[in-house]
Chains A and B, each alone.
Chain A
Amino acid sequence: MLNEERVILMTRMVSYEKNEGRKNRKIGSYFRSDYIAVQILKSVICSTIVFVVIFGLYLLYNVDELMQDLYTIDLFAYAKTVLTYYGVTVVGYGVITYAACSWRYARAKRSLKNYYNNLKKLNSLYSESK
């Protein structure tokens, strides 16, 4: 005999598993600290590439001035400034990543908890029907 409530529940759960659930389960398989650490590591790599790209464009744009001032500017101070910018970029992006991933992890966990509750409910519906 078809149990309407059970069918509705199963349909919702399958829909969740197919879409959002897949991603959330992947997130949920990590400890919070591990997940955030991995994401921050990726962010550091990404922000480094972005910084290199932007700095490369900057160098190309100002190559004439740089070549003229190459022997007059303090290269250590220049490198220090560049590294400061790099640090600000990486740290800034890392902080944004930390906030976004913390929120995402909490949401995924909440969502998975709801999903497991539904599983339990489904199990109890099966038990009732027997």
Chain B
Amino acid sequence: MTALLEVKEKLRQIYGKYEVFILPVAKFLLAFITLNALNGRMGYMTQLDDMVIVLIVALTCSFLPMGILVVFATIFSLAHMYALSMEVALVGLCVYLVMYLLYFRFSPKDALVVVLTPLLCGMRIPYVVPIAAGLLCGPSCVVSVSCGVVVYYMIEVVVGISSNIKTMGDDAILEKIRMALEGIIGNKAMIVVIAAFAVTALVVYLIRRMSVDYAWTIAILAGAVTDVAALLVGDLLYDVNFSVGGALLGNLLAVAVAMAIQFLRFCVDYKRTEKVQFEDDEYYYYVKAVPKMTVAVPARTVKRINSQQHRTGGEAERRPASGSARNAGATGRRPASAESSGGEERRRETAERTGAGRRSVTTERTNYGRKGAQRAPYGGQRGGRTASGKSVTIGSARDTGTDAGDSDTDQADEWL
């Protein structure tokens, strides 16, 4: 568990450090996969079914807000529908319009769920969506998930009726509209899936908000069970022929994904739960505090910054006496290499010089075998090897007469 927590912390640090790059790349990948999936599934407009266009649009999406991806995905799907038949595109436009006007005016952030739901439905792993949405979003996610399911089934209906539509003449306008509408409205499988996913998302949301131990875990398991049960009941009522094995396996996968989400988002230690009670003038407070599981990731520590003058002669290269050291020290790295054998090994890695003055930075690699007292305090073990930490010594020596690289070797005590 500690190793996992360390990995999580490292991931967090990496994300914090490279967020500027990670987010656009993630958006690009999502846009690329979404548009490719759309082109692969529909692909009626051959002009859009082109890798160059997909790449350009995905790149555009990578630096624009997430809502733009939804807009592009909508445009792509409508364009494909239009290439199939204008009437089908009209029906698609109406469905999108109703969704956008009624719901996404309120919560545009949930638009991502509407993209992910059909995408995961297409990959045959849709059961992750309601559980993940229940864990991460508010109760309004029920509507988002439902809208996503509608989009998926609308695309499926269009794909299903495409062969019939192609055989119809241009004058069969009403028949085409009727066929598309019947396919969407009369789709019992869609209704069952919408109901099952809505109930699942709501159950997960309600349970994970409860003040009980392991609320998230209970919510995930309850959500999976609810999902399977609702699908089975819907199957019995409407005879839509769901694959029970597929639903079970899909929900098992959803539980695994949800557990990973829980680990990343809500990792607490219920064993150390504290219940406290206090009061003020107006209220009694019954507080339950659950500590988060965290582990400190060892970080590089700057041990000491020295600023000193050396005036030694002899073999050293002479410098102007007026030379002044720059303040900011460059970092040297000293891995706590306790396993090195014997003696003291010093290596000077960098010597930086500037016009009037110079700064020499000495990085020491010291073997602590003999000089235990010199070990750097780190991670509870002075100078020893730690999981990933490195102690670093920075020296900023202002030399007036000699190169720091040739200064006396007993300087180690001063550095440390």
Task: Give the interface of A toward B (CB within 8 A).
Answer: 42, 46-47, 49-50, 53-54, 56-57, 60-61, 63-64, 93, 100
CB < 8 Å neighbour of B181 from A42, A46, A47, A57: A57
Checking A50, A56, A100 against B101 with a beta-carbon cut-off of 8 angstroms, the contacting residue is A50
A60 adjacent to B177 (CB under 8 Å): yes
Q: Name the prevailing secondary structure of the A interface residues.
A: helix
Q: On chain B, which size bracket covers the interface?
A: 10 to 19
Main secondary structure of the interface of B (DSSP, over half): helix
- Inter-chain CA distance A49–B100, complex, in Å, is 11
Instruction: Tell whether, in the assembled complex, residue A93 and residue B174 are in contact, meaning their CB atoms are under 8 Å apart.
Output: no
Cβ-closest chain A residue relative to B140: A100
Question: Hey, which chain B residues are within 8 Å of A54, CB to CB?
Answer: 94, 98
Residues of A within 8 A of B328 (CB): none
- Judge if B17 is at the interface, Cβ distance under 8 Å: no
Q: How far is the CA of A61 from the CA of B90 in the complex (A)?
A: 13
Kindly state the separation between the CA atoms of A56 and B94 in the bound complex, as whole angstroms: 10
Minimum CB distance partner of A101 in chain B: B106
**Beta-carbon contact of B98 and A50 below 8 Å:** yes
9 pairs from A and B in contact (CB 8 Å cutoff): A50-B97, A50-B102, A53-B98, A57-B177, A60-B174, A61-B181, A64-B174, A93-B102, A100-B106
- Chain A's closest residue to B106 (CB) is A100
Q: Mark B168-210, 1 if CB is under 8 A from A, else 0.
A: 0000001001100100000000000000000000000000000
Collect the chain B residues with CB atoms within 8 Å of residue A42's CB.
105
Q: Cβ of B392 < 8 Å from any Cβ of A?
A: no
Q: Give the Cβ gap from B103 to chain A, nearest Cβ, in Å.
A: 10
A71 to B219, CA, bound (A): 58
Q: In the complex, which residue of chain A has the Cβ closest to the Cβ of B184?
A: A57
Which residues from A are CB-within-8-Å of B31?
none
Contacts of B178 on A, CB cut-off 8 Å? Answer: 60-61
Please indicate the chain A residues that have their CB under 8 angstroms from the CB of B98 in the complex: 50, 53-54
Q: Answer yes or no: B89 CB below 8 A from chain A CBs.
A: no
Nearest-CB distance from A2 to chain B (Å)?
Answer: 16
Q: Which 9 A-B pairs have the closest CB atoms?
A: A46-B101, A53-B94, A60-B177, A50-B101, A50-B98, A61-B181, A57-B94, A53-B97, A61-B178
